[in-house]
Amino acid sequence: MKKDIILAGVGGQGILSIAATIGTAALSKGLYLKQAEVHGMSQRGGDVQSNLRISDREIASDLIPMGKADMIISVEPMESLRYLPMLSSGGWLITNTKPFINIKNYPEMDKIMAEIEALPRHIALDADEIARQMGSPKSANMVILGAASPFLDIEYESLQEAIRSIFRKKGDEVVQVNLDALEAGRNLAMSKMN
Amino acid sequence: MQKLLLLGDEAIAQGAIDAGLSGIYAYPGTPSTEITEYVMHSKEAKTGKVVASWGANEKTAMEAGLGMSYAGKRAMVCMKHVGLNVAADAFVNSAITGANGGLIVVAADDPSMHSSQNEQDSRFYGKFALIPILEPGNQQEAYDMVHYGFELSEKYRIPVMMRITTRLAHSRSGVARKEVREQNEIRLPENLKQFILLPANARRQYKSLLNSQTSYILESEKSPFNVMIDNPDKKLGIIACGLAYNYLIENFENHDVPHPVLRIGQYPLPEKQIRELYDSCDSLLILEDGYPLVEELIRGFMDNGKPIKGRLDGTIPRDGELNPNIIARALGLEDLHGRAIPAIVSSRPPSLCKGCPHIYSYNALNEALLTVGRGRVFSDIGCYTLGALEPFDAINSCVDMGASITMAKGAADAGLVPAIAVIGDSTFTHSGMTGLLDAVVAKSPITVMILDNATTAMTGGQDSAALGKIEDICEALGVAKDHIRVLNPLQKHHEENLAVMQEEIAYNGVSVIIPRRECIQTITRRMREAKKQQLIEKSEA
């Protein structure tokens, strides 16, 4: 088993909480993991990414080679496209469609969507809207993770367990909200695949 | 024991705690900051009364580390690569004094300049100081090398450098811990003259350092971190330093490289293994993150031996961080790429946070300078460097910590009056105070804006040594009291603030303006933590 994942977003959007959940689930299964993060200046509203690698064999490079990522998980639509050179020919792109606009020349949304839809394997969903409808706007990240979960090769129960262990300190309510968000994202992805 | 999931930085910190560290000293700087922060937050370090503190700058940190080593205890000093320039005086001389308690200096390099002004290679500093250098290739080695490094340091009574790069510093992986060592007791140096670098002593100490070089090479030759991996295809031999080894093997099925590979994790270079590789192969490829240090050594000035490939002949790009694809190209392997980035994707540079006090300060400064003209604002290193970007376009320089004030002074000396310096509170106490003294002594017509957000913001909000002291410092350095002006950088105070700026810019002498409002990130974090604390207290009551 080997999954090479690019996590993408804008500094401050919290892509590392997705990485932490996948990472915790992977470790609980005794898998190897490497996760390269971006700290420092770019965190201030710039584009950020994380290279997350999981494998049942020892991993060499902290960086995923170009053209070999199994999936891109993005919490922002334009950012999902920035890493296309990393994605393998059979790879999946899972992205939020809610734009984060903090630059003047942000492209038109329909052009972004056309690029995303041109990809043979993609799941695009408005995770912010789904999270808002559920009454927990902060859990959009978990909706995205849920949408990515069918492609992760990690049992869904392990992801749920990871959420319980990560959010335990914040109380049962927060745990449940995040589990529900995960479920909603997963269901939506499943329905889009069928 | 279950492995810990740690950043390279955190692995170094945990390694130091487990290896009997007594004190860690640093100034925050990406990508080194998380080492010291980890020790600061560690319960074990707290229980062991490990001192973990931010110095005013890297030099004071280096000297405090040396002092702890003098007293016989283990110390670690951490900085980003350019911080070592600031600490260089103490660092280079610490090789002459030698250490007493184990002393490790961690320099975190930033090839590709993710968050830096240059990509200088700290291995040159280690070589320059004539001390052993350790360069971990992964998180586990980062942990293990701290134990090993302290032993090496105490065996030879010499500071040891640990050189890491951004990629390792900020990448996470599983790390297995070793047995925990006790801290050292206080134990003075056997020779109480060891640390007195009067010329007569220094000459003796320097000779002893030179005499130790052979031993350091022997240590490298038997080091577990320098490994020769023999393989059949001897048309090419490969030397891979630190992380480069990972990028190399990533390119081969089952990580089996057909060529002999010498993995380097400890310097000075192991002469025996280098010679063995050179003699047994037709040509060499040198893979190293940073400058071509190893490559230059092996080529030599005459470069008349076997073909050597690397950064100098263009096989590898001369600048920038390595990655698996660069090495694939160097070896003539398939260099795969996915789809191109669509043309509609625009760049998204970092920007000041919503509500950041600097936004107001720059808007007001730009307005105050309307009548004076552009090109007169010398700035410095911190979040406020983002004032160089749109929509502010407010500053004209960013060179090194503290350079804003002294460059403004030099420009004023040249007749560029008024000249403005913009510097942050933490940068001011790091390296700005001496420059301000220069300006006061010369009665330079400069205006210094000290943007006081009460923290070291860019690196994540560490305590600022300047907190609550700025006016007193400026006054003590000789700035006239009525030309030290504190502003509240908010739009509602715009008219009065603008008037103050215009007045001080017009003043023919040194004036200091201090726009003061806490960083929006740290204040949000503090409020969140206070709320959490309230909830805990409520649930306990």
DSSP string, B300-325: TTT--SS-EESTTTTSS-SSS---HH
CATH class for the region spanning B357-523: alpha beta
Q: Which residues of chain B have pLDDT under 50?
A: none
User: Which of B171, B249, B339, B348 to mutate against chain A (most A CBs within 10 Å)?
Assistant: B348
A67 neighbors A88 (Cβ within 8 angstroms): yes
| CATH code of the domain in which A140 resides | 3.40.920.10
Residue whose C-alpha is closest to residue B179's, from B39, B46, B7, B15: B15
pLDDT at site A42: 65
Q: Which fold has domain B4-221?
A: Rossmann fold (3.40.50)
CB contact under 8 A, A61 and B352: no
CB contact under 8 A, A23 and B172: yes
CB contact under 8 A, A65 and B325: yes
Distances in Å between the Cα of A18 and the Cα atoms of A14, A149, B171 are 8, 11, 15
Query: Nearest chain A Cα to B255, which residue?
Result: A60
Say which of B31, B34, B337 has its CB closest to residue A67.
B337
Specify the CATH number for B227-330; select among 3.40.50.920, 3.40.50.300, 3.40.50.150, 3.40.50.2300: 3.40.50.920
pLDDT at site B532: 80
Strands A2-10 and A47-55: antiparallel
Helix (H) or strand (E) holding B266: strand B266-267
Task: Name the segment(s) of chain B with CATH classification 3.40.50.920.
Answer: 227-330
A-chain residues near B31 (CB < 8 A): 39-40
Distances in Å between the Cα of A157 and the Cα atoms of A30, A69, A164, A181, A183 are 15, 24, 11, 14, 11
pLDDT at site B1: 63
Helix (H) or strand (E) holding B147: helix B139-156
* pTM for the model: 0.96
How big is the A-B interface in CB pairs under 8 Å?
153
A-chain residues near B337 (CB < 8 A): 66-67, 85
Distances in Å between the Cα of A56 and the Cα atoms of A22, A33, A59 are 14, 9, 9
Q: Is the peptide bond before B350 cis (omega within 30 degrees of 0)?
A: no
- In whole angstroms, give the CA distance from residue B24 to residue B39: 8
Residue whose C-alpha is closest to residue B129's, from B218, B216, B226, B58: B216
Residue whose C-alpha is closest to residue A39's, from B116, B15, B84: B116
CB contact under 8 A, A61 and B346: no
Distances in Å between the Cα of B369 and the Cα atoms of A31, B375, B501 are 59, 10, 9
Say which of B172, B345, B352 has its CB closest to residue A78.
B345
Q: Is the peptide bond before B136 cis (omega within 30 degrees of 0)?
A: no
B-chain residues near A11 (CB < 8 A): 350
Q: Which residue has the tokens 């293990």?
A: B144
CB contact under 8 A, B251 and A65: yes
Amino acid in position B324: P
DSSP state of B190: S
pLDDT at site B473: 98
CA dihedral for B399, B405, B407, B408, sign (positive or negative): positive
CB contact under 8 A, A42 and B167: no
Domain residue limits at A174: 2-193
- In whole angstroms, give the CA distance from residue B277 to residue B110: 29
Residue whose C-alpha is closest to residue A90's, from A71, A118, A77: A71
- In whole angstroms, give the CA distance from residue A34 to residue B174: 8
- In whole angstroms, give the CA distance from residue B234 to residue B435: 57
Q: Which residues of chain A have pLDDT under 70?
A: 41-42
CB contact under 8 A, B172 and A34: yes
B435 neighbors B402 (Cβ within 8 angstroms): yes
Torsion of CA B456, B457, B461, B463, to 10 degrees: 20
CB contact under 8 A, B247 and A43: no
Number of domains in chain A: 1
Q: How far is CA B481 from the centre of its chain?
A: 36
Strands A32-36 and B377-378: unpaired
A-chain residues near B347 (CB < 8 A): 47, 103
In the three-class reduction of DSSP (H, G, I as helix; E, B as strand; rest coil), residue B511 is classed as strand
Plot region of B268 (φ>0 → left; ψ -120 to 50 → alpha; else → beta): beta
In the three-class reduction of DSSP (H, G, I as helix; E, B as strand; rest coil), residue B267 is classed as strand
User: Which of B3, B34, B115, B172 to mutate against chain A (most A CBs within 10 Å)?
Assistant: B172
- Rounded percentage of chain B residues whose pLDDT exceeds 70: 100
Tokens of residue B100, six digits: 């007493």
Beta bridge partners of A5: A52, A71
Nearest-CA distance from B41 to chain A in Å? 18
Say which of A32, A81, A104 has its CB closest to residue B345.
A81
For the CA atoms of chain B, what is the radius of gyration?
Answer: 26
Q: SS3 string of chain A? A: CEEEEEEEEECCCCHHHHHHHHHHHHHHCCCEEEEECCCCHHHCCCEEEEEEEEECCCCCCCCCCCCCEEEEEECCHHHHHHCHHHEEEEEEEEEECCCCCCCCCCCCHHHHHHHHHCCCCEEEECHHHHHHHCCCHHHHHHHHHHHHHHHCCCCHHHHHHHHHHHHHHHCHHHHHHHHHHHHHHHHHHHHHHC
B299 neighbors B244 (Cβ within 8 angstroms): no
pLDDT at site B502: 97
Residue whose C-alpha is closest to residue B513's, from B389, B372, B361: B361
CB contact under 8 A, B335 and A32: no
Say which of A45, A65, A103 has its CB closest to residue B336.
A65
- In whole angstroms, give the CA distance from residue A128 to residue A143: 8
pLDDT at site A98: 97
Tokens of residue A79, six digits: 């950012």
Residue whose C-alpha is closest to residue A74's, from A135, A119, A134: A119
CB contact under 8 A, A62 and B243: yes
Tokens of residue B56, six digits: 């005013």
pLDDT at site B536: 76
CB contact under 8 A, B324 and A67: no
Q: Which residue has the tokens 């892509």?
A: A15
Judged on CB neighbours under 10 Å (0-12, 13-18, 19+), B88 is middle
Tokens of residue B30, six digits: 């990406």
What residues have CB less than 8 Å from A68, skipping those under 6 apart? A4, A86, A88, B336
Amino acid in position A156: Y
- In whole angstroms, give the CA distance from residue A142 to residue A184: 9
Say which of B7, B115, B174 has its CB closest to residue A41.
B115
